[in-house]
Chains A and B, each alone.
Chain A
Amino acid sequence: MLELRNLTKTYGNTTAVFETNLTIEKGEFFCLLGSSGCGKTTILRMIAGFERRTGGQILLDGRDISEDPPYRRDINTVFQDYALFPNMTVSGNVAYGLRIKKLDSSEIKRRVAEALAQVGLTGYDTRMPDQLSGGQQQRVALARALVNQPRVLLLDEPMSALDKKIAEQTRLELMELQRRVGITFIYVTHNQTEALTLADRVAVMHRGVVEQCAKPSEIYETPKTRFVADFIGSMNFFDAVVTRCETWETELLLEDRWPIVVEQQRRLNPGQRVLFCLRPEQLKLSLVPEKPHENGLTGILRQKVYEGDLTRYVMELPGGHMITISLHNYLARNIRDFFEIDEEFMLHFNRTQGVIIPQ
């Protein structure tokens, strides 16, 4: 119900957002993910109305709102610094939008109480913002936005100022809240864990362009571009050439050295250059066998890092290529001690694993 058509923003010579097309469904928890400067915040601000677009349109339920000032859009924002008005109490802040709409004072009271209850701050109405902790301030900001029952709620990195533990807790509460309230959320963040946890769909942005817009599982398991593959989680990359492509299997030559076979759907041409990506958890580690193993690469173990739930191994392959493998400890508990540094081992993977990204 919110559609961005060829949305563009330029500042002088720099392009912050380049002809972006996105459609966000009603009731969706949508996430814009990317590192700083990628344009995600700019898009958010254009949707809110704080920046004017240079090109393209923003349509809310079919109506073009690109020219509307922020106070006429049925959209509310939760700001990164919360922007609570210091001269008003909590209830004063929350009631602000309602007062502007000139609602009846008993109605205002009711809705404010309801909103505060929703975010778990009942009884805080007479406090002043400077008396609240970071987490509480964030909730007030949320209540203040939600109480107006907007069609879309925009959130600009609201967790970036919170401690890790509180952020985790708040994340879950936020998901719950969104499900209950049913309002469309558009959430901007640079934290991929947040994006993957919270969102129904994620748009990964890089340098003003949406690299991929899909469900979190798709983003993680089938990244479409190198950037997305690299940005989300850890990834091992190989430059590869297609040697053979059939409908049931494709053969690649990795780094001009290692031939591998994978099962995948894409139609590729022999000789085509591609990027072959493997997640650390998709790799297995074993002793070097006597016969060559399918999809097996030998190298020397350089690092072993115990991380509680898994152990990360870094292998150096001939040519200097460093590959990361992660093994769940409870699965590999017994064999863990066999892996010594500076010894030769083999890593291998199943032909169903891996992602091919054409260059």
Chain B
Amino acid sequence: MAATNTSRANDLRVGSSLWLKMLTVAGLVFLLLPLPVLIVYSFNADRTVTHWSGFSLAWYGAALTNQQLWLSIRNSLFIALCSATVSTILGTLAALVLTKYRFRGRTLFQNLLYIPVVLPEIIFGLSLMILFIMIRLPLGFVSIICAHVTFQLAFVALIVLARLYRFNQHLEDASLDLGANRLQTFYYVIFPIIAPALFSAGMFAFMLSMDDFVITLFTSGAHSATLPLFIYSKVKYGVTPELNAVSTLLIVFTILGLAGAALLQKAMVISPLLKRVMACIGGAILLLLVTTSLMSRDQEVLNLYNYAGYICPGIIADFEKETGIKVNQSYYNSNEELFARMTMGASDYDLIVPSGFMVQNLIKLNMLAPIRFENIPNARFLDPAFCQVSFDPEGQYHIPYTYGSSGILYNSNVIKEPVVSWSILWDPQYKGRITMLDDMRETLFAGCKRAGVRLQDWNVADLERAYLALAEQKPLLLRYDSGMIESLLLSGASVLSHYWSGGAMRLQMQHPHIRFAIPREGVAMFIDSLCIPANARHRDNAERFINFLISPEQSARNMEDICYVMPNKTAIGLVKAEIRTMMENLVNADPTSLELIEDPGEYNKTMDSVWTRLRSQ
């Protein structure tokens, strides 16, 4: 914290006018408002975040028992500790160099040191990601720590510099005069005096690391989710008051930590014994972290990369209990995102859930490992029609997971007219309350339908027409979103949503006024499959998991939870009646209205360019 100037006790009445005070208060209210809001809403009994319906502590229970949360906290702490330590050392060295020596290129070094402070984090993260991939460093703890150290360096150097400038040079001279060499002088004289500044710098670096999101997003791998990443996945894919509970716990913890640190700073000055005690405790914590992370490395793991909310959590928990294999989950929003991560080359996933066309693409690029069916006896329950499919003729590389289609989800309390056509999503009377999927293929497909062309013709002119239709629609939209549809519909922010059948069904069960319709022009059907990447490190675990999942009992359970149909006749028979009825509507739907879209191949580039243009407008 800045050592502030002399006391301004003055009768000049500078800075004391009423409107200044009011503005300051207003500003403070603005700054602090989110905190109590988060805390209060963490006690909200309602499942959605914005609608208050009563007091409940349920979410704290959920948060405290959330394994993923604790894992991510542990990861964050570990990374923060390591990176803060390294950056404090490096930053101090840099500060020492800048204060003691005049050398050519000093300004250049200074700029090199300070620019990271101002550089947009996204560029920082991206550039490091490129570097790591180029040198084939797997994205994980090491990459994140390296990234964090780099941007913390500048801050540490700045803080230590400020202290060093006030350092009395004569102290060092006196030490040398008395016979100590430079190292001893540093250890006995310089270090103890600047230690508080080092401590502040270290704490600051620690805090920066704990809070960092953007840079970590680009440099993290499958099993190195940090707390901010965990929070982000919650924000994007399904916000419940559990997030508020987590946040409140964080806030409370931070305040306690700050107060503790402040008290500690005072105490540290007073008692060297206390300093030693704290050092020991710190060392013990560090040791604990290191050993626990080493321990869990030896533990059997399975890195699952999937859509959020696309698998029953109970199944995962039971699998873990039964086999002792730890399942690390990460999420993606779309097939494109999945592919992007996989082609980064430094990803570490054991099990992925791509759609048909993407499977086709991955097979072409030799990025999938063939499934060893001898490890998956439960495969006999699968519907053969889904095993030999156009995108994987021999059925070697995939296990069909679910199928379904896109469609239109709507609030029947508001939409009184029948929903039969894609055109309703272009209806100006619902302006600002329509959402489309944040998915290139799905939305371009819808645009083609509106323009009366077929996406599968892979025609540039057609695509241009679709683009125009979508561009026309854009001003009517609330958002392009795939993860928050539920809360947007329930809160009334949206009334019409482009969505997938399973999620729709799940919503409909709890809120009957939310209905799902398949427009007559046709919808895109998808078959999502379980696949194992070629470079997966835990193939056996992946196959074990698949086998567990496609057993009829677990499949039935899964279907009841995620409401997507799994191609498993035996399992369907076990599903609860009302859900089965709903699913059968889809199963028995007119096959001509379900269109399966193949891999566009080269055409993908064109689609991508159109999609980027649309989103950028």
Contacts and interface: CB of A to CB of B under 8 A. Distances in A.
Direct A–B touching in the complex (beta carbon < 8 Å)? yes
Interface of A: 11, 50-52, 70
8 contacts: A11-B9, A50-B10, A50-B11, A50-B12, A51-B10, A51-B11, A52-B11, A70-B12
Interface string B8-22: 011110000000000
A52 B12 CA distance: 9
A51 B9 CA distance: 9
Contacts of B10: 50-51
A177 to B, nearest CB: 29
A150 B68 CA distance: 75
Interface size class of B (residues with CB under 8 A): under 10
A37 to B, nearest CB: 15
Nearest to A45: B11
Contacts, number: 8
Nearest to A11: B9
Contacts of B9: 11
A50 B11 CA distance: 6
Nearest to B10: A50
A11 B12 CA distance: 15
Contacts of A50: 10-12
A11 B9 CA distance: 10
Given A11-B9, A50-B10, A70-B12, 5 more contacts: A50-B11, A50-B12, A51-B10, A51-B11, A52-B11
Nearest to B13: A69
A12 to B, nearest CB: 10
B105 to A, nearest CB: 27
B6 to A, nearest CB: 11
Nearest to A53: B11
Q: For B10, B11, B12, which residue has the most chain A Cβ atoms within 10 angstroms?
A: B11
Contacts of B12: 50, 70
Nearest to B9: A11
A266 to B, nearest CB: 43
- Per CB-CB distance, the 4 closest pairs between chain A and chain B, nearest first, are A52-B11, A51-B11, A50-B12, A50-B11
Contacts of A70: 12
Nearest to B11: A52
A52 B10 CA distance: 9
Nearest to B12: A50
Nearest to A50: B12
Nearest to A52: B11
Interface in B7-56: 9-12
B33 to A, nearest CB: 35
A11 B11 CA distance: 12
B5 to A, nearest CB: 13
Contacts of B11: 50-52
B433 to A, nearest CB: 55
A154 B10 CA distance: 18
Contacts of A51: 10-11
A189 to B, nearest CB: 21
Nearest to A51: B11
A51 B12 CA distance: 7
A11 B10 CA distance: 11
A226 to B, nearest CB: 32
B152 to A, nearest CB: 33
A52 B11 CA distance: 6
Contacts of A52: 11
